Chains A and B, each alone.
Chain A
């Protein structure tokens, strides 16, 4: 990005004798100006993060307490999004569901992403037979669609938040490793890797300090996509009754209970939790697209 600066700025900088660096706020502001859709995405993601992290203060009711005097009530001032068949306030459940989605989405994306990152870069770095073998293993892992692999893992370890996280993280690892490996392959040929090796640095240090930072752009783009995929996968598993279990509030789970039974009499039970999932993943995707344009100008206009 700094390469695109006008010449005067470059001259100014050398004249002042201090490195030119934009503050985080400046960077964020320039991102918002250039990527309005990405900003909309960012706003949606932030709203979801605030809802999830501050659920205890935001939610007007206890998400798990039943109120049998107010069952399947339509949206009103008392219950802005209505209540479900047990009289639980939908807004409160959605706000607490955001917390579950954040925990699952971010844990899966970060753990799966980081493991995939290290494996992918290491495979590209070592090359040869190691890389060949690793590629074949990836081929096998990638042959399992995400949700199928997750279901198979759930079949073994059982349901619950922790097992859902394991089930979604495992299939994300090869998907990350494959993308990272292909970008790392070109970096391996760059002279500074040879230089680092000549200096006698160890494999681990070269991989972690010299190669990993250089695949950060594709990695971050991938990571945002993973958060969305993990949230969708968690919602699907929970909807099937094979994910997060009651009484933990989760968006997919809210669609499982009464959504279909009450489809005609109380459609809000089905509409709002799904809207929460769709808006969140929509926001993440918009943000991810903008991030791709900002981090990787080569891909712009594609």
Chain B
């Protein structure tokens, strides 16, 4: 097991370095000189100021040295300063992280709570109306853009609250920690979590269904039936336990992709999270912030994959000893 973990860790490192190299190269593909863009606001550009700016950004060094210092920066969590706000990138990210993290975790809970029971039910009632309806709901979840769902949810909340109480109510947009004001915090986070969670649950539901169908055909399920085991026990203890393995992987992978979904959803609900920061960074052409955020997402992806793989090996001995 330890050997497996070490192997997996060693595989994650080149992926991260490779991703850093890709981001580094992409950021250097930007047409024109960043310093020229920054300084040319006043018209003509002073040669000394240009050189100073280059030195400041470390652009007078060789490309290899630049890349190494770029990597070193990430390794020591020093991402430089935002080119737009002038504040440290790590500060910008850390102030925005809790809100996104909370929505991501809530969305995951929503997704699991919907997907696993419905996916299992769909598999058990294969090719019946129940199955048909659940599958349609799942496909609709994949097809519906989460930002549109968010807008519709807001319209409904507005209409319902103004019909019930006379005054339209909108969820709060400023972040209050859960422990300070749980009601306010949850009323802010629940709608985005539901809209993102629906899509997430749709993917997970389909996976649960197909994994469950596969497991239900296994010999040991027939054996369990033959020896007269109660149906509920066969499903819960024998089938579901094995069917959930690929589902765990999917949940892990989708968790990382959730951040991508948040980019759009936070915009709908006007929430000041990581996703919104990312869009602002791109709009403001703030390259230091953009590259740090891209690397953050990639790191989350690689780390969740790592955790999922280790979890998978722990759950399934066949992987460990393969």
Contacts and interface: CB of A to CB of B under 8 A. Distances in A.
Interface of A: 37, 136-137, 139-141, 143-148, 151-156, 228, 232, 235-236, 239-242, 252, 255, 259-260, 263-264, 267, 270-271, 273-274, 277-282, 284-286, 289, 301-302
Given A144-B298, A156-B26, A302-B210, A267 B144 contact: no
B302 interface: yes
B275 to A, nearest CB: 10
B151 A274 contact: yes
Given A240-B279, A260-B151, A278-B148, A143 B264 contact: no
17 contacts: A137-B18, A143-B298, A144-B298, A148-B294, A154-B282, A156-B29, A156-B30, A236-B264, A239-B267, A240-B279, A264-B155, A267-B155, A271-B152, A277-B144, A280-B143, A284-B143, A301-B213
Contact of A263 (B15, B139, B158, B213): B158
Nearest to B264: A236
A137 B15 CA distance: 8
What's the dominant secondary structure at chain A's contact region?
A: helix
Given A136-B14, A263-B158, A278 B213 contact: no
B263 interface: yes
B108 to A, nearest CB: 15
Contacts of A147: 260-261, 263-264
Contacts of B145: 232, 235-236, 239, 252, 274, 277-278, 281
Please indicate which of the listed interface residues B14, B139, B256, B259 has the most CB atoms of chain A within 10 Å of its own CB.
Answer: B139
Interface string B45-71: 000000000000000000000000000
Contacts of B31: 156
B139 A302 contact: no
B142 interface: yes
Given A264-B155, A264-B159, A281 B142 contact: yes
B247 to A, nearest CB: 14
B301 A143 contact: yes
A146 B260 CA distance: 8
Interface residues on B, range: 35 or more
Contacts of A285: 139, 142-143
B260 A140 contact: no
Contacts of A284: 143
Q: Report, nearest first, the 8 A-B pairs whose CB atoms are least far apart.
A: A274-B148, A145-B260, A140-B18, A281-B143, A282-B143, A147-B260, A302-B210, A155-B282
A136 B155 contact: no
Interface stretch (B87-95, B98-106, B228-236, B283-291): B283-291
Given A143-B19, A151-B279, 14 more contacts: A136-B14, A141-B22, A144-B297, A145-B256, A147-B260, A148-B259, A155-B285, A156-B31, A232-B145, A239-B264, A263-B155, A264-B162, A270-B151, A281-B143
A148 B260 contact: yes
